[in-house]
């Protein structure tokens, strides 16, 4: 397996993950995907992982260090829901909004992130929103605990939720209900996060592809341990042709399943799909395997050890159980990453070769661990990978597009803040560079040393004497305090620098946004109508048809890579999106349907760029 299992022993979630600044220097790369096992409804576990893996960087606020901010979140997290205050929630949001997020190829949550034994789903949902706003692509696997949250959300009963798990086993959801009941959290805010960030990220099955090995490897990701038998049953349930004759065709089958599951979950309660679900199967004295003909339930609840026993038990029911996951088929390798079943060392306690990721088959890997389930201490592991993630579904593209433009807007609205001393340092650096340039032009050697002397002599005209050995920045600050003329010069420098910084930041942020938009166009599947499209782009050596206005946007993105002004190109893209949204001629009214899949994308681009970079 090309994945790397990242392990941490004796973790304490109450402690800041880094013992020194040196530990924080290594930053994850943008092409890394992280797959995190069961969160057990514990937002602190998610927060700790994101900080530890350098996906989220806490920034100082009001003089408080990242360590102090982390410890403050721990205190807020541990506060009982009936004792939390509005000020606590506001402070949590300030800490979260003030953090920086590194770009990941993918953040994948194996499940049980909501409605579990943790403290409060409010914190988890807000973290997911922050990730989405920052453009961190996130996938969440449908799971048994989170299904209870979705069911209550669908029925509008989150204030006083009901579930099949029991209050303690779904404590995080019940504590969110307490905040809603107390009026500390607005139900519309939760609905908005679920609609805009949670549901678009939700999948029944995820996958990634590694083309660097031969034969290529397809890795599947599900909450509970299952195999291709469950994919086959899901396809049959939804009337989708099942085809695993190649990686691409099996992935296409999975994509169609995910779209149908997403559609169902948007329109119905999760429990509507349990079809034969019996509470005693999963609760109480023990668990029982879920047969193949209940595939959606099997994805959320199947227990691999019991499933294996049922598959080996003689009788006519034997064929309804068992995990089918060949090491290789039809010219490609297969692997599965799952959670749900508990730590491997508890399941396979008699096996001397057990590792944290051991599972039922050699090509299966378990990500579940007990950290954060009942205790805030313990061992932990996750899976890191450079595999190619699944392409964005069309419903996900508007969300990701908004995240790109939100990040651009956020960057422009929150310029870096400098202290008075830092401004004087910048001014001195600029003046030293200018004096050095003058001295160099005059053919003088030791330009920097002479320029410092020249600058001190120049500053002395403001009638404030220089103290021998004094730091030149301290001298500058002392001159500004005593002389209005010099202070005015510093203010003029600040105004000019802020404008210059804004121009540079606009160009850099816009260039990054254009790069992301170009990538979305390349990696997303676009509907182009029954006769296809004349406008095509080349992706990985193949010509890909895309809608005409997207092609125009794509060309503008490409111009940025060839030296075009990114700010002006972003404004041009706004005009293209605006044009795309204009009504079509009556003659083409009957063919308008082919554009519907991209209309939401055009709406996002037009709305989010309307005033973004205009002078």
Q: Residues 442-491: pLDDT tens digits?
A: 554 444 456 678 788 888 888 888 888 889 999 999 999 999 999 999 99
How distant is the alpha carbon of residue 513 from its chain centre? Answer: 16
How distant is the alpha carbon of residue 305 from its chain centre? Answer: 32
Report which of residues 268 and 56 the model is more confident about: 56
Over pLDDT 70: what percentage of the chain? 84
How distant is the alpha carbon of residue 248 from its chain centre? Answer: 25
Please determine, for residue 287, whether its predicted confidence score (pLDDT) is greater than 90: no
Which pTM value belongs to this model? 0.77
Residue holding tokens 């961190």?
136
Q: Residues 39-70: pLDDT tens digits?
A: 999 999 999 999 999 899 999 998 899 999 99
408 neighbors 612 (Cβ within 8 angstroms): yes
Please determine, for residue 112, whether its predicted confidence score (pLDDT) is greater than 60: yes
Strands 328-329 and 106-109, how do they pair? unpaired
- The pLDDT confidence band at residue 426, using thresholds 50, 70 and 90, is very high
Lowest pLDDT segment from 11-25, 277-291, 434-448: 277-291
Q: How far apart are CA 411 and CA 570, in angstroms?
A: 15
E strand or H helix at 439: helix 420-441
CA distances from 155 to 148, 205, 239, 264 (A): 11, 25, 27, 14
Strand partners, 337: 221, 365
Strand partners, 139: 108
Residue 353: predicted pLDDT: 81
Closest CA to 203 of 3, 359, 45, 389: 389
Q: How far apart are CA 268 and CA 250, in angstroms?
A: 27
549 neighbors 602 (Cβ within 8 angstroms): yes
Mean pLDDT of 32-41: 95
CA distances from 166 to 115, 142, 434, 513 (A): 10, 19, 71, 45
- Report DSSP state, residue 348: T
Crossing angle for the helix pair 484-523 and 472-482, to the nearest 10 degrees: 120
Residue 276: predicted pLDDT: 44
Report which of residues 592 and 487 the model is more confident about: 487
Residue 435: predicted pLDDT: 75
Residue 286: predicted pLDDT: 46
Closest CA to 122 of 168, 176, 159, 193: 176
Lowest pLDDT segment from 71-85, 119-133, 407-421: 407-421
Please determine, for residue 438, whether its predicted confidence score (pLDDT) is greater than 80: no
Query: In the numeric block, which tokens belong to residue 155?
Result: 């029925």
Strand partners, 203: 141
Q: How far apart are CA 605 and CA 498, in angstroms?
A: 27
Q: How far apart are CA 9 and CA 4, in angstroms?
A: 16
Query: In the numeric block, which tokens belong to residue 446?
Result: 């030791």
Strands 106-109 and 100-101, how do they pair? unpaired
Report which of residues 450 and 16 the model is more confident about: 16
Strand partners, 6: 382
- The pLDDT confidence band at residue 272, using thresholds 50, 70 and 90, is low
Lowest pLDDT segment from 124-138, 410-424, 520-534: 520-534
Crossing angle for the helix pair 43-52 and 66-78, to the nearest 10 degrees: 170
Query: In the numeric block, which tokens belong to residue 486?
Result: 């010099």
Closest CA to 179 of 193, 161, 163, 165: 161
Residue 189: predicted pLDDT: 96
Please determine, for residue 586, whether its predicted confidence score (pLDDT) is greater than 70: no
Q: How far apart are CA 84 and CA 202, in angstroms?
A: 29
Closest CA to 40 of 291, 370, 296: 370
- The pLDDT confidence band at residue 376, using thresholds 50, 70 and 90, is very high
Mean pLDDT of 290-306: 88
- The pLDDT confidence band at residue 277, using thresholds 50, 70 and 90, is very low
8 neighbors 379 (Cβ within 8 angstroms): yes
Residues sharing a CB contact under 8 Å with residue 328, sequence separation 6 or more, in sequence order: 215, 334
Query: In the numeric block, which tokens belong to residue 274?
Result: 């349990």
Ranges of H-type helices in 156-246: 171-181, 187-193, 199-201, 228-238
Q: How many other CB atoms are there within 10 angstroms of residue 26's CB atom?
A: 8
Please determine, for residue 558, whether its predicted confidence score (pLDDT) is greater than 90: yes
């Amino acid at each position: 397996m090309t994945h790397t299992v990242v392990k941490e022993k004796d973790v304490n979630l109450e402690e800041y993950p880094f013992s020194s600044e040196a530990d924080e220097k290594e930053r994850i790369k943008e092409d890394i995907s992280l797959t995190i096992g069961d969160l057990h409804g514990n937002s602190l576990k998610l927060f700790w992982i994101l900080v530890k893996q350098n996906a989220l960087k806490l920034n100082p606020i009001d003089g408080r260090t990242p360590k102090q901010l982390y410890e403050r979140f721990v205190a807020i997290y541990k506060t009982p829901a009936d004792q939390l205050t509005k000020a606590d929630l506001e402070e949590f949001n300030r800490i979260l909004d003030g953090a920086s997020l590194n770009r990941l190829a993918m953040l994948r949550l194996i499940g049980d992130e909501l409605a579990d034994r943790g403290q409060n789903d409010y914190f988890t949902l807000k973290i997911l929103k922050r990730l989405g706003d920052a453009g961190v692509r996130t996938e969440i696997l449908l799971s048994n605990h989170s299904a209870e949250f979705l069911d209550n959300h669908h029925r509008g009963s989150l204030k006083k939720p009901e579930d099949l798990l029991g209050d303690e086993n779904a404590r995080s959801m019940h504590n969110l209900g307490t905040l809603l009941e107390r009026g500390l959290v607005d139900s519309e805010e939760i609905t908005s996060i679920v609609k805009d960030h949670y549901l678009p990220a939700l999948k029944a099955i995820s996958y990634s592809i590694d083309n660097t090995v031969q034969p290529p490897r397809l890795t599947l990701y599900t909450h509970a341990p299952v195999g291709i038998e469950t994919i086959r049953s899901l396809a049959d349930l939804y009337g989708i042709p099942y085809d695993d004759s190649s990686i691409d065709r099996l992935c296409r089958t999975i994509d169609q399943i995910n779209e149908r599951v997403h559609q169902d979950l948007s329109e119905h309660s999760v429990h509507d799909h349990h079809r034969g679900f019996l509470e005693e199967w999963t609760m109480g004295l023990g668990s029982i395997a879920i047969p193949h003909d209940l595939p959606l339930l099997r994805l959320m609840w199947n227990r691999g050890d019991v499933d294996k026993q049922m598959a080996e038990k003689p009788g006519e029911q034997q064929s309804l159980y068992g995990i089918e996951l060949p090491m290789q088929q039809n010219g490609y390798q297969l692997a599965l990453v799952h959670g749900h079943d508990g730590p491997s060392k508890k399941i396979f306690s008699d096996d001397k070769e057990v590792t944290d990721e051991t599972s039922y088959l050699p090509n299966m890997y378990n990500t579940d661990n007990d950290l954060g389930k009942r205790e805030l201490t313990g061992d932990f592991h996750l899976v890191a990978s450079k595999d190619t993630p699944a392409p964005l579904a069309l419903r996900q593209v508007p969300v990701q597009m908004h995240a790109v433009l939100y990040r651009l807007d956020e960057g422009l609205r929150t310029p870096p803040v400098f202290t008075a001393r830092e401004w004087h340092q910048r001014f001195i650096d600029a003046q030293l560079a200018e004096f050095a340039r003058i001295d160099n032009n005059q053919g003088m050697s030791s330009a920097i040393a002479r320029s410092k002397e020249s600058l001190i002599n120049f500053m002395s005209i403001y009638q404030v004497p220089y103290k021998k050995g004094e730091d030149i920045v301290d001298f500058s600050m002392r001159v500004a305090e005593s002389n209005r003329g010099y202070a005015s010069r510093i203010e003029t420098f600040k105004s000019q620098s802020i404008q210059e910084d804004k121009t540079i930041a606009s160009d850099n942020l816009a260039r990054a946004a254009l790069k992301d938009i170009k990538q979305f166009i390349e990696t997303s599947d676009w509907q182009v109508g029954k006769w296809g499209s004349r406008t095509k782009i080349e992706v990985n050596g193949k010509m890909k048809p895309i809608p005409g206005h997207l092609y125009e946007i794509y060309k503008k993105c490409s111009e940025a890579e060839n030296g075009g002004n990114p700010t002006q190109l972003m404004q041009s893209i706004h005009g293209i999106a605006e044009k795309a949204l204009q009504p079509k001629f009556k003659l083409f009214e009957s063919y308008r349907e082919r554009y519907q899949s991209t209309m939401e994308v055009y709406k996002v681009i037009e709305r989010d760029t309307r005033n973004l970079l205009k002078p």
